[in-house]
Amino acid sequence: MLTIPLKPNLTIVENAQWYYKLYTKLKNRMVSGEFQLNASTTKLAYLQSILYSISLATTRESLEEIRKECMDAGIIKKSKKPLSYKLGKSNYIHLTIDEGEIFIGRNNQQNEYL
């Protein structure tokens, strides 16, 4: 036999309403918790796949693609200004041929800057 404790300061109808309200609240928490668990599991799997992609990345371009994917997915904030590469002496190749100078960047962005 099941015994349900009643609150002595409430009537039988108020006790029933209180227990029904408690039941509804707990049921909604359970549904919400299951939804959040599924969403978190999906996000965790996605983050693990990104981590795996980062471990396989061999070039700066592939890392930049992963970074863009993370920005598009809302995992990291989009930068307000594009990354700028400082062109120091070690960042480009300088050649002097027949009284002329040739500068060669190490990537497309440096070449566009030059």
* Cα dihedral 10, 12, 16, 17 sign: negative
Residue-level pLDDT at 87: 42
102 inside domain: yes
Residue-level pLDDT at 110: 62
CA 15 to CA 9: how far, in whole Å? 9
Residue-level pLDDT at 89: 45
Q: Which domain holds residue 99?
A: 84-114
Residue-level pLDDT at 86: 47
- Do residues 73 and 88 both lie within one domain? no
The residues of the chain scoring below 50 in pLDDT are 85-90
Model confidence pTM above 0.75: no
24 inside domain: yes
How many structural domains comprise the chain? 2
- Do residues 63 and 99 both lie within one domain? no
Residue-level pLDDT at 90: 47
Name the residue among 56, 58, 55, 53 with its Cα closest to residue 68: 53
27 inside domain: yes
71 inside domain: yes
Residue-level pLDDT at 81: 61
